[in-house]
Amino acid sequence: MTTEPFDDAPDFEPDEISDRSLLTAQTRSAQIEAQLEVDPSQFRVLTGDRPTGRLHMGHYLATLRNRVRLQDLGVETMILVADYQVITDRDEIGSIADRVRDVVTDYLAVGIDPARSTVFAHSAVPALNQLMLPFLSLVTDSELRRNPTVKAEHDATGGRPMSGLLLTYPVHQAADILFCKANLVPVGKDQLPHLEQTRVVARRFNDRYAGGRQVFPSPDALLAESVNVLGVDGTKMSKSKGNTIDLAMTEDETAKQIKRAVTDSNRTITYDLDNRPEVASLLRMAATLSDRDPVAIADEIGDGGGGGLKRLVTEVVNEHLRPIRQRRRELEADPGYVASVLAEGNARANEIADATLAEVREAMGMVYSAS
Ligand code: TRP
């Protein structure tokens, strides 16, 4: 028997992340943003996605644009495709290679530059995965069971038993971040518990196995002021719900999808976040993509109703995505190039991971040489 895989970034807000830890992370993020402008070379960023196939406007506005921004600021950026995460919560996995290729194609299409950013799949980096063993010795099962994001992801599987991999996923994520000694991790707030667990692992490793030497830095979260948009059915944009606007869609497909968008019966368009969330989301999408103010766009549409709003949004989305889609088509026509970007990223990630694992073995007294 197979359960319906849940196909996208988890559709939940872990409610146990305290306001205080969120506030701390927000304050720290603001300080880091200021430092990023001054001296980007202090930072190594590691970010990643589970490979869900083609990426959509939700990904683009919440994370992809920000990654390109960081890369363009001159921050060293590592981008991880978390392919092992696909087996944390489902029975059927389909072709992971196809999905990974789609994700890498989208990265390149939006402007991730392989000369400046390293794109890799964590399954292709053995030494990264080997860090999981010492790291597992540094966490307790009750810590993992308390992790609100693990709990929420488990709840979203609709009654499947918790797999050992899902339970220990935060430790794997610590390996993802620490193998390259990243000190900055751009994430949404649902990932804050994993980052906290990563800091605990780094600290305990340094204390217990390295005599207090700082083998691993303590990474910070970078909470970007991310722009959240709803799917066309008015709920969170998510691949499994068929409510997405994909980067890879044609202009006609985009127009059809936006035509389906839920609005309301009030013909006068206003930007009212509390009372008209669906209309506000469409306005926000258009405003962000065209660098305008949502209120000004609402005024311009005036009494044009949902139809007028959708026409404008379709135009803005298609115009903004035109060069990205053009680039995407070129990349699709050159699968060898996309594969080579990943192969080179994997090779670079392996070099870094091998060096870190050597240091870990040294710190732990596990170096066995013949002479
Ligand atoms: N867990 C993340 C998600 O569900 C993906 C991910 C895996 C990640 N490893 C990471 C994100 C390391 C940041 C850093 O979206």
In this structure, are 63 and 157 located in the same domain?
yes
**Residue of 50, 52, 122 to mutate, ligand 1, most atoms within 8 A of C-beta:** 50
Does residue 211 lie in a domain region? yes
Could you say which DSSP state residue 207 is in? Answer: I
Whether residue 166 sits in one domain with residue 77? yes
Q: Report the atom number in ligand 1 closest to the C-alpha of 153.
A: 4
The residue whose CA is least distant from atom 14 of ligand 1 is 47
| Mean pLDDT (whole number) for 5-15 | 46
Residue nearest to ligand 1 atom 15, measured at CA = 49
Ligand 1 shell residues, CB under 6 Å:
9, 46-50, 80, 82, 85, 173, 176-177, 185, 187, 191
Residue 5: band (very low, low, confident or very high) from pLDDT cuts 50, 70, 90: very low
Average of per-residue pLDDT values in the chain: 92
Q: What is the pLDDT of residues 160-215, one digit of tens each?
A: 899 999 999 999 999 999 999 999 999 888 899 999 999 999 999 999 999 999 99
The CATH number covering residue 94 comes to: 3.40.50.620
Angle between helices 192-204 and 19-38 (to 10 degrees): 80
Tell me which residue has its CA closest to atom 9 in ligand 1.
173
Residue minimizing CA distance to atom 7 of ligand 1? 82
For 241-258, letters b (16+ CB in 10 Å) and e give: eebbbbbbbeeeebbebb
Same domain (yes/no): 322, 345? no
Atom of ligand 1 nearest to the CA of 122: 9
How many CB atoms sit inside 10 A of residue 275's CB?
10
Q: Return the CATH number at 286.
A: 1.10.240.10
Counted domains in the chain: 2
Residues 350 and 201 in one domain: yes
3-class secondary structure, 81: strand
pTM over 0.85? The answer is yes
pLDDT for the residue 45:
97
Residues 281 and 186 grouped into a single domain = no
Q: Quote the domain boundaries for residue 350.
A: 19-228+335-363
CA distance 110 to 48: 15
**What does the chain come to in residues?**
371
Q: Is residue 243 part of a domain?
A: no
Residues 6+ apart with CB under 8 A from 220: 28, 29, 32, 183, 184, 185, 195
The closest-lying atom of ligand 1 relative to the alpha carbon of residue 182 is: 14
